[in-house]
Amino acid sequence: MRKALITGVSGQDGSYLAEYLLTKGYAVHGMVRHNSAGSYGWATQIEAKSIEKGQLTLHVGDLLDYGSLDRLVRLVEPDEVYNLAGQSHVGHSFELAEYTASATGLGALKLLEVIRNYNRGIRIYQSGSSEMFGNSATQTQDESTPFSPQSPYAVAKVYAHQSVLQYRNSYGIHASNGILFNHESPRRSPDFVTRKVTKAVAEIIAGSRNNLTLGNLSASRDWGYAPEYVAAMHMMLQRDEPNDFVIATGITHTVEELVQVAFGLVGLTWRDYVLSDSALYRPSEVHRLCGNAEKAHDLLGWRPQTSFEELIAHMLNADLERAGVSMRVSSSTLRS
């Protein structure tokens, strides 16, 4: 039985990856940060069900603490490590710049050092971000597009990305970077705009709120479905040689289009409910990101399957259920 260690297993990507690897017959170990509540998000639910699918074991550790990483890798003896942990919110990184640099940037370096010192045969995946491209001069971004980070989060991700390249080239470690464009799901935190919107729509239908205030409605992003993106992570580590891959749909939508679809799914006109407040703009805005995933198509055989409208409908149905609303929506209603 192959063994995988996932940092950030309690988050959106980590929980979907854990479930995916369990279906592949892996023994999955997840690293979580200690908290007094003793509950670790989605990972707790998956752990409770994992007896039916395989094995998931949670361990306490922290990317800020080299000792805990070293201890955990030696304990688990993984074949593969997936680094999905760190401070992952672009907006919050402006307020938590030093923490973001330490957890998101230096945390990746510490993991690479652990592997270099313990077992260079361990394969490691580093989760990158389209935010590293910033306000790119190109219409689409691929693996050769220059980075132009516009936030502390993006700067930290660039540092982690370059660290992977250095350890791969200097020490022969099988380390791959996934440059993932925005990917969403019902497990996305409400801090992120897609889930903020679908949660608000559900609450408006439930009668528990009246409107929604957002920042820049013209920002344009390439949004995909998270469970499909974690499959690409696994594909990268099955290759004989490590490499770097952009994972994206190649299609962009503005935040305005996002709210138009979400409100349209429940028969509402978004302009009656949505306000834009410039106070919510970021100190440095990234206006448009669109990925070119041809390399992943050709070398991994990976392609996105879920449309933007299907994604939003899926998220909205989950939030309607959470809000106690029996209504269910379908993306087909937008095309009728």
Out of 19, 47, 80, 131, the active site residue is 131
Out of 129, 130, 136, 151, the active site residue is 129
Told to judge if 131 belongs to the known catalytic residues of this protein, a careful annotator would answer yes
Structure tokens that stand for 33 in this block: 């940060």
SS3 73: helix
Told to judge if 153 belongs to the known catalytic residues of this protein, a careful annotator would answer yes
Q: Over the chain, what HEC string results?
A: CCEEEEECCCCHHHHHHHHHHHHCCCEEEEEECCCCCCCCHHHHHHHHHHHHCCEEEEEECCCCCHHHHHHHHHHHCCCEEEECCCCCCHHHHCCCHHHHHHHHHHHHHHHHHHHHHHCCCCEEEEEEEHHHHCCCCCCCECCCCCCCCCCHHHHHHHHHHHHHHHHHHHHCCCEEEEEECCEECCCCCCCCHHHHHHHHHHHHHHCCCCCEEECCCCCEECCEEHHHHHHHHHHHHCCCCCCEEEECCCCCEEHHHHHHHHHHHCCCCHHHCEEECHHHCCCCCCCECCECCHHHHHHHCCCCCCCHHHHHHHHHHHHHHHCCCCCCCCHHHHCC
Told to judge if 129 belongs to the known catalytic residues of this protein, a careful annotator would answer yes
Q: Residue 186: what are its φ and ψ, rounded to 5°?
A: -60, -15
Out of 153, 167, 225, 229, the active site residue is 153
Residues catalogued as catalytic: 129, 131, 153
